[in-house]
């Protein structure tokens, strides 16, 4: 049995054990709907660095020494479930960043980030997540993935409602950010966000703090995408509330918190794959940020 097959087998066995221990899972997330790129998204820059396949159901972003490229959603959204499948830049990807994020458009902006930091051949990708509220970020967490994200497509998702933000990889929660307004922590609730993705050169910081530079002899660097799922409350940029508040599946009581199985999966990621967590960084935060205990991130 090869290493990848063995890892997949152990992962399946592990999840099966969790189900036996936890009982049935509460409310499972609805399966994303596979739709073409053009249904929900438009290119934003360097249009000639985006390639389309299978009738627009799959696209590739290209990065070379001249430019990267990116795209954004047509609409803006207040809350929802957002997902896409990605296959990251293979081989020597040091210096490159592939980003998938939600962001509002003002100076005190809200933002929900997936950033995939490339690395030298043979070294694993780092997935960095961050949450900005009212223009304040500095809530970085970094993990390794339990698979090679360059070999096959994998699903990366955000669930965002009035109660929490959940980051998921193949439906496994890797991070939760709870609404802690009662603790004095701002939470994104009244600024509609667009969804963005981009592939760009960030060799001043992305790999080993900028020590590893992009090897342009390996260009073009290519990231692939499919399944451009959006199930959100579409709003104008000026909207301050969701007109269907409380009526959507992702806004129901069962999605106010993770269930026992999801918390066990999150704990597994924390114990096995987390390499940096701002909640435990006492050099930056002598006192633990108040949201960390509620998020069970300590």
Mind listing the pLDDT tens digit for each residue in 229-247? 999 999 888 888 888 888 9
Report pLDDT for 263. 94
The model's pLDDT over 164-173, given as tens digits with 9 standing for 90+, comes to: 999 999 999 9
Per-residue pLDDT, 9:
47
Is 111 an active-site residue?
Answer: yes
Q: Is 177 helix (H, G, I), strand (E, B) or coil?
A: strand
Angle between helices 3-22 and 260-273 (to 10 degrees): 140
Q: Which residues contact 253 (CB under 8 A, 6 or more apart)?
A: none
Mean of the per-residue pLDDT values of the chain? 90
Strand partners, 100: 114, 197
Provide the greatest CA pair distance for the chain.
55
User: What is d(CA 93, CA 207) in angstroms, rounded to the nearest whole number?
Assistant: 9
Q: Reply yes or no on whether the pLDDT at 260 is more than 90.
A: yes
Q: What is the pLDDT of residue 298?
A: 66
pTM: 0.90
CATH number of 37-295: 2.60.120.200
* Dist. CA 87–CA 172, nearest whole Å: 17
Q: How, if at all, do strands 154-160 and 141-143 pair?
A: unpaired
Catalytic status, residue 234? no
Strand partners, 87: 224
- The residue from 58, 111, 152, 238 that is catalytic is 111
């Amino acid at each position: 049995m090869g290493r990848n097959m063995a890892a997949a087998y152990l992962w399946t066995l592990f999840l099966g054990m969790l189900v036996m221990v936890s009982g049935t899972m509460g409310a499972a997330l609805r399966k994303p709907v596979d739709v073409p790129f053009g249904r929900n998204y438009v290119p934003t820059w360097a249009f000639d660095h985006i390639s389309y396949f299978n009738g627009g159901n799959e696209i590739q972003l290209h990065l070379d020494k001249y430019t990267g490229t990116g795209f954004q959603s047509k609409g803006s959204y207040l809350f929802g479930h957002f997902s896409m499948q990605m296959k990251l830049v293979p081989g020597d990807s040091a210096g490159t960043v592939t980003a998938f994020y939600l962001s509002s458009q003002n100076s005190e902006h809200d933002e929900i980030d997936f950033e995939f930091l490339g690395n030298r051949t043979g070294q694993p990708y780092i997935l960095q997540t961050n949450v900005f509220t009212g223009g304040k970020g500095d809530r970085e967490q970094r993990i390794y993935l339990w698979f090679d994200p360059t070999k096959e497509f994998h699903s990366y998702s955000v669930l965002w409602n009035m109660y929490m933000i959940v980051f998921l990889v193949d439906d496994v929660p890797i991070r939760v950010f709870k609404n802690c307004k009662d603790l004095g922590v701002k939470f994104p609730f009244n600024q509609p966000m667009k969804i963005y993705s981009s592939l760009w050169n960030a060799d001043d910081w992305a790999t080993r703090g900028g020590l590893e530079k992009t090897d342009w002899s390996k260009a073009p660097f290519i990231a692939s995408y499919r399944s451009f799922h959006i199930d959100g409350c579409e709003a104008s940029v000026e909207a301050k509330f969701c007109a269907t508040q409380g009526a959507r599946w992702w806004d129901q009581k069962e999605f106010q918190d993770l269930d026992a199985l999801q918390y066990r999966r999150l704990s597994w990621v924390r114990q096995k794959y987390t390499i940096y967590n701002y909640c435990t960084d006492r050099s930056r935060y002598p006192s633990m940020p108040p949201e960390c205990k509620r998020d069970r991130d300590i």
